[in-house]
Chain A
Amino acid sequence: MIKESPSRKAFNWFNIAFLSILSLTMLLPFIHILAGSFSAGTAITQGRVTLFPVDFTLDNYRVVFNDITLWRAFGVTVLITVMGTFINLFFTSLMAYGLSKDHLKGRSLILFLVIFTMIFSAPLIPTYLTVRALGLLDSIWALILPGTINAFNLIIMMSFFRNIPKDMLEAAKIDGCGEYRTLWSVVLPMSLPSLSTIGLFYAVGHWNGYFAALLYIRNNDLFPLQVKLRRLIVESDAEEMLQAAQLSVQSVEGIKMASIIFATLPVLVIYPMIQKHFVKGANLGAIKG
């Protein structure tokens, strides 16, 4: 072992300190919002809340949990996320498996057409007109179908399938498996890590999606969570909520913060369970050339 020089040691301490401060800037906004969501409205508007609740109260959450429109938006988002992610994974893996066959006729043409959509995207207005022509406006399918297959995810999954040993596929064929059976019983079980990662990308996209709903949804009952949240934060929905609740809450600030926590909680609960995957992946060099 080579002994560490004093300057090297100093650098190490500086490095840890710097990175810790940077990480704190990622956490503190949350802690502030969390503290605010448990604080009385007056304390927030007077700027007395920093990292701990002031004049502790659950009223903000009472207002939020009593709001039926927020729950409905939550339900819409859960539905879109579950159904959408399933549809994404189903069609992405089907197409990726088909395109992973090297000698398939027409493969390179199809691949070219897929990649072309990544570097030359159709403008917004024609895309909107297409979705409208299909009669999808004001339906949750407008939030699911236009993103069925993400070209980037498709290519990642395809290269993953191509790395599966050919012997495995041959063995399945000899056992009398058709292509569908091979995909379902051999390829997919072997691809669980990549399948779950790509599934997560899709799911987070659905959960956080805002733009598609802004474009395609007019009906209040079909608004997903992010649209509702946006209306709470910058429009007057929070005031209406406050009046409807008839509680002794004096300010909308606390309600906005409680809604942010409400919408983020599912992500924050699931995140620690899945983050190991990325952290380990990044450290082991899981991405192949």
Chain B
Amino acid sequence: MASPKISDSQTSIQPKTKRKRKNYLIRNWQIYSMILPGIIFFIVFKYVPLGGIVIAFQNYNVFQGIQGSPWVGLDHFVNLFTYPDFLRILRNTILIALYQLIFGFPAPIILALLLNELRLMFVKRTLQTVLYLPHFLSWVIVGGLVITFLSPNSGIINEIIRTFGGDPIYFMQHPEYFRTIVVSSGIWKEIGWSTIIYLAALAGINPELYEAAEIDGANKFRQVWSITIPSILPVIMILLILNIGNFLELGFEQIYMLLNPFVRETGEVFDTYIYRVGLLGGQLSYTTAIGVFKSVVGLILIVGANQLSKKLTGNAIF
């Protein structure tokens, strides 16, 4: 900038920076116009609903709207824990999520390690192709398959039970089977697809590490334990953090497809309850409070898991 103008700009600093900012926007108008539709999308469909959380602090009524509905402060949140319904769905959600984490999370890691040991490329590719397939099927179809297979009249499982002289079991009507069915059908659908990211990480390991270990006399299990696992640990940790962050997000469709009134006792979770009681039953404020509770817990979990992982393994997503 030319020196004679300095005094000039000192006297009118406000308009100058404004004009500068305006110039920057004008110069980059094309870029900003590209981002703009996206920003509008996030505001309208993500942040406006976030603002809509205020109805959790009201007795919201569709006819009176947000402005006309009476405010009740934290009443819905305080009362949450006194409703037997809430405690039941909280328990169901946590149990199913826990089983999914314990059984569903390690399964694809083990499968990826086994696939990685295959030396015949043709076999490996064929198996991968088949294992990825269920991921592309909708939950409507997978739910239909599960119901067909467990059907007491014509299902294959009961056919086998009958062959061995047993009585057919009404799997879909017994609450004690529900969680097992949900967790195992989830593993069946996603186990293959979830290996992709681990296989990519496994492919990135330097083969010289194995050769050196071989010369040092390390056996295969030792190699997996001391080379393979540590090499893919960052990927495992990142996925674990994301998984824990989504702990309470069980996936509405999966549960909904398998749910029926007989198994509601053990099967109803946050999402299906919010849909049934909130949307169909009209208890909008109460179920929004449940939704807020779910999102806040999710936020705490992901931040907590992230900090813990940072401390223990040095891996973190933010």
Q: Which of A49, A119, A128, A179 contacts B31 (CB 8 A)?
A: A179
Indicate with 1 or 0, residue by residue over A15-46, a CB within 8 angstroms of chain B CB atoms: 11011101101110100110000000000111
Task: Give Cα A148 to B45, complex, Å.
Answer: 9
A83 contacts chain B at the CB level, 8 A cutoff: no
Contact A27 B130 (CB under 8 A): yes
On chain B, the residues within 8 Å of A104 by CB distance are: 28, 31
The number of chain B residues with a CB under 8 A from chain A is 95
Partner-contacting stretch, out of A60-68, A188-196, A240-248, A256-264: A256-264
Given contacts A12-B117, A123-B288, A123-B294, are A94 and B30 in contact (CB under 8 A)?
no
Indicate with 1 or 0, residue by residue over B276-313, a CB within 8 angstroms of chain A CB atoms: 00110000100110111011101100100000000000
Q: Which of B130, B162, B199 contacts A26 (CB 8 A)?
A: B130
Contact A99 B44 (CB under 8 A): no
How many contacts between A and B, using CB within 8 angstroms?
253
A91 contacts chain B at the CB level, 8 A cutoff: yes
Task: Give Cα A245 to B133, complex, Å.
Answer: 33
Contact B196 A282 (CB under 8 A): yes
Contact A23 B131 (CB under 8 A): yes
Task: Give Cα A20 to B117, complex, Å.
Answer: 14
Q: Which of B128, B136, B278 contacts A267 (CB 8 A)?
A: B136
Contact A127 B118 (CB under 8 A): no
Q: Which of A11, A123, A145 contacts B220 (CB 8 A)?
A: A11
Given contacts A149-B38, A230-B140, are A122 and B49 in contact (CB under 8 A)?
yes
Contact B141 A19 (CB under 8 A): no
On chain A, the residues within 8 Å of B73 by CB distance are: none
Among B143-198, those with CB < 8 Å from A are: 143-145, 147-149, 153-154, 156, 158-159, 162, 188, 192, 195-197
Given contacts A110-B39, A210-B138, A260-B144, are A26 and B45 in contact (CB under 8 A)?
no
Task: Give Cα A278 to B264, complex, Å.
Answer: 38
Nearest-neighbor residue (CB-CB) of B279 within chain A: A128
**Chain B binding surface, main DSSP class:** helix
Among A200-256, those with CB < 8 Å from B are: 204, 207-211, 214-215, 226, 229-230, 233-234, 253, 256
B105 contacts chain A at the CB level, 8 A cutoff: no
Contact B140 A282 (CB under 8 A): no
Which B residues contact A (CB, under 8 angstroms)? 24, 28, 30-32, 34-35, 37-39, 41-42, 44-53, 55-56, 111, 114-115, 117-119, 123-134, 136-141, 143-145, 147-149, 153-154, 156, 158-159, 162, 188, 192, 195-197, 199-201, 203-204, 214, 220, 245, 252-253, 256-257, 271, 274-275, 278-279, 284, 287-288, 290-292, 294-296, 298-299, 302, 318
Q: List 13 A-B contacts (CB under 8 A).
A: A26-B134, A123-B274, A125-B284, A125-B288, A126-B288, A207-B138, A208-B140, A215-B279, A230-B140, A256-B144, A279-B128, A282-B200, A284-B203
18 further interface pairs, Cβ-Cβ under 8 Å (given A98-B38, A233-B143):
A12-B117, A32-B148, A91-B37, A98-B34, A105-B24, A110-B39, A113-B42, A119-B299, A122-B295, A124-B278, A125-B274, A127-B45, A129-B284, A154-B38, A208-B139, A230-B143, A278-B196, A283-B125
